Structures are given as structure tokens and as C-alpha cells.
Amino acid sequence: MRILSGVQPSGAPHLGNFLGAMKRHVAYQTHSESFIFIANFHALTSVRDGEKLRQLTHELAVDYLAIGLDPKKTTFFRQSDIKEHLELMWILSCIAPMGLMERCHAWKDAKAKGKKEATIGLFTYPVLMAADILLYKPDKVPVGKDQKQHVEVARDLAEKFNQTFGEVFKLPEPDIDENVKTVIGIDGEKMSKSYNNTIPLFGDDAALKKAVMSIVTDSTPLEKPKDPEKCNVFKLYRYFATPQEIANLRDKYIAGGFGYGDAKKTLLQKLHEVLDPYRQKKVELEKKFDYVEEVLKDGANRARSIAQKTLEEVREKVGI
């Protein structure tokens, strides 16, 4: 099975990014043919500083390598190193219905909320994403629930191309993990940089402690029993703990005499246990700029060989 997923270099990753995408991407390399790319073309819809984008792109590559992505098992590359993405985007744009694009939620949200400038790039974002996917003919595309529609757009455009010009593209399936489709932040809402409610993946000790101790809880007194299923601290703990550890913490909530401050300390300890090895690995990789660049270039070479083959098929079908 071949999987493909892209990640925008939009800033320091948080636990929502880790659980919803990054951890899953690393897990796939053990049993799938995996393609993971840094979507820096897509980032141009919001990042308007060249040096900043280069830095964010490199840092995201470091982050992935730090959490265990193996470049020998996963084809890991920069989107901008494969120009075939842009050529296929134009070809798909020529058959993409305006109505389909206008219905995409990212575009509608941008116009309604005004959070992003309503540019042509933002409007055609789903077409580029379709090209990203279809070039590599994956079976599945791991995405969050908010990106499901864009995978469906890729399927629609693949079907239209195949019907119009002849069979080239496989119809990929969105792969959504229901267990992590909405990772809560410190306020109980979806963890997001936009909401300023994140817990950093690679923050220092002080930043991690501050975030955990800021998690919103109710006012139940320490001595009273508590419902773990309604507690934000417990919900986050479940993502990282073993079944036995989860059961033990649940018992403490129900028994009473266990405060939310104690629960936060338990969560903080577990996060250090899980994240500290990644943090140490990142420190080591930050000293190896050339190595990280070599990883991305090697991944691009492997990805390009597949992208070029697909584009040759497309060019033949459309008459170019």
C-alpha cells in the first residue's frame, strides 16, 4: 500500500500536529510505501518572507527526523524540489469546474472570516493539493477531518481526467484516524495556533510546564470524586499513556482526594517521558544542516522519478 501526505511549514509543531499527523506519518513507514513532503508551495498563501519560509521548511524537516522518520524507509522531500507538481496543477486547472472550487471550505472560510487574503493561490489551493496527491498514485492519504474535502476534490479531478483523456490516475482514499481527529487544547477546544491554546511538541521545560499547568479544569474540590471523562487533563493523558496507566489514573479521579494539580503533574511527567528523547534528537540534528539537506535532496530524487513517469503519461494523454 502506498500512502502520501504533505505538511505545511507553518511554525513550531504542537501536540495536535504530532498526534493528528506527524506520529501517524512515522508509523506508516513500518508497513507501507510512504511519501511525506513539506508543502512549501502551499505555505506561500500565508508566508510572505523568503528567509522565514526557508527556515520553517528546514525546521520542519528536523522535527520529522527527530521524532523517528527514517529517510531510508520514507520518501521525504520538499514540494518545491519537484516542479512536476506545478505542471500537473495547471493541467488539472484546465478541467477543474469553478463551482467545485467555490464550494471548498477553505476558500469559503477565507472570504467569510477574512483571516487570509482571498488570493488566486488560496482559491486554487485544492487543485495544487490534487496534483500533489495524484502524481504519486497513492492508495491512501492520511489527513485530518478538515482536509477530507480536498482529497475528495482530488478524486473528482482524477475521475474527470480519466473520463476525458483516458485512464491515468488512481482514486485515493482519505485516511482519517477517528481517535485523533480533534485533539483538544488547554482550553478544551481544538488545539490550534489560531486559538493560542497549544502545548508545544519541542518546547523547553518552562514552556511545557506553563502550558500543562494552564489546562482549564472545573472547580471540583480536591477531596471530591471527579469524572475523568469530562477532564481536559485526563483526555490529553490518554493519548500518551498505556491502558494500565490510564486505568490507574481513572481510579484516582473516581476515588477522590486527588486534585487537578496532581493530574497535571502526572500528565507533565508522562509528556517528558515521551517527548524528551525527541527533544534531545532535535538538538543533535540542529547541528547537522548539511545532513538534513542531503536527506531532502535524496528524497526528491526518488520522488521525481515517479512524478516524471506520471507526468509523461499525462502529457501523452492530453497531447503535449
Q: What is the CATH number of the domain that holds 221?
A: 1.10.240.10
HSE on the CB side for 184, CA within 13 Å? 19
Residue 198, domain member (yes or no): no
Do the beta carbons of residue 75 and residue 135 sit within 8 Å? Answer: no
262 and 166 in one domain?
no
Whether 103 and 83 share a structural domain? yes
111 is catalytic: yes
Q: Is residue 195 part of a domain?
A: no
Number of other residues whose CB lies within 10 A of the CB of residue 174: 19
CB of 81 within 8 A of CB of 294? no
Tell me what the pLDDT averaged over the chain comes to: 94
Q: Is residue 261 part of a domain?
A: yes
Which tens digits make up the pLDDT trace of 218-258? 999 999 999 999 999 999 999 999 999 999 999 999 999 99
Q: How many residues are present in the chain?
A: 320
| Angstrom distance (rounded) from CA 316 to CA 90 | 15
What pLDDT band is residue 115 in, cutting at 50, 70 and 90?
low
Among candidate residues 52, 108, 111, 224, the one labeled active-site is 111
Both 276 and 304 in one domain: the answer is no
pLDDT in tens, 254-307: 999 999 999 999 999 999 999 999 999 999 999 999 999 999 999 999 999 999
Q: How many domains does the chain have?
A: 2
96 and 155 both lie in a single domain: yes
pLDDT cut 70: percent of the chain above it: 98
Please report whether residue 196 resides in a domain.
Answer: no
Q: For residue 18, what are the domain limits?
A: 2-182+289-318
Assess whether 27 and 129 both reside in one domain.
Answer: yes
Residue 268: which residues within 8 A CB-CB, separation 6 or more?
208, 209, 212, 213
Decide if 193 is catalytic.
yes
Q: Annotated catalytic residue: which of 83, 116, 145, 193? A: 193
Residues 14, 151, single domain; the answer is yes
Main-chain dihedrals φ then ψ at residue 200, nearest 5 degrees: -70, 145
Radius of gyration for the chain, computed over Cα atoms and rounded to the nearest angstrom: 22
> Is 221 contained in some domain?
yes
149 shares a domain with 66:
yes
Question: Minimal CA–CA distance to 141: which of 25, 23, 29, 27?
Answer: 25
Q: Are residues 269 and 303 in the same domain?
A: no
- Give the Cα separation of 158 and 310 in Å (integer): 13
Q: Which of 137, 190, 226, 252 is catalytic?
A: 190
In terms of phi and psi (left: phi > 0; alpha: psi -120 to 50; beta: otherwise), the region of 107 is alpha
